[in-house]
């Protein structure tokens, strides 16, 4: 993974332990990195409309988050851990 730096928007995607919106965290990281959902969908072997549906979900599978982390080169699991202040 590359240097992990939160972009300050992750906190806006969190209001309690059960309400971390992973889809929003991933979308905000894509935007921060200058990437599009279309690009991400292609990397995930999906289509744009399906990816928008997936990223609208607050709960995503750990497999999806792991794949996203590898593709985007950002540790989304660390984002969640940081939000939980573990």
Q: Tell me the C-alpha distance between 52 and 57, whole Å.
A: 9
Q: Coil, helix or strand for 85?
A: coil
* One pLDDT digit (tens) per residue for the chain, 86 residues: 444 555 555 554 544 555 789 999 999 999 999 999 999 999 999 999 999 999 999 889 999 999 999 999 999 999 988 888 75
Q: Is the pTM of this model over 0.85?
A: no
pLDDT value at residue 20 = 83
Beta bridge partners of 47: none
62 located within any domain? yes
CB proximity list for 50: less than 8 A, separation 6 or greater = 41
CATH code, domain with 38: 1.10.260
pLDDT given for residue 3 in this prediction: 44
Residue 23 placed within a domain = yes
Number of domains the chain contains = 1
Token digits of residue 81:
């851990």
Token pair for 42: 């292609």
């Amino acid at each position: 993974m590359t240097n992990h730096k939160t972009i300050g928007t992750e906190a806006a995607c969190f209001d309690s332990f059960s309400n971390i919106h992973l889809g929003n965290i991933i979308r905000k990281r894509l935007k921060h990195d200058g990437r599009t959902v279309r690009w991400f969908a292609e990397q995930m072997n999906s289509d744009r409309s399906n990816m928008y549906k997936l990223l609208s979900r607050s709960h995503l599978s750990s497999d999806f988050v792991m794949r996203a982390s590898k593709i985007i080169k950002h540790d989304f699991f660390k984002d969640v851990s940081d939000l939980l202040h573990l």
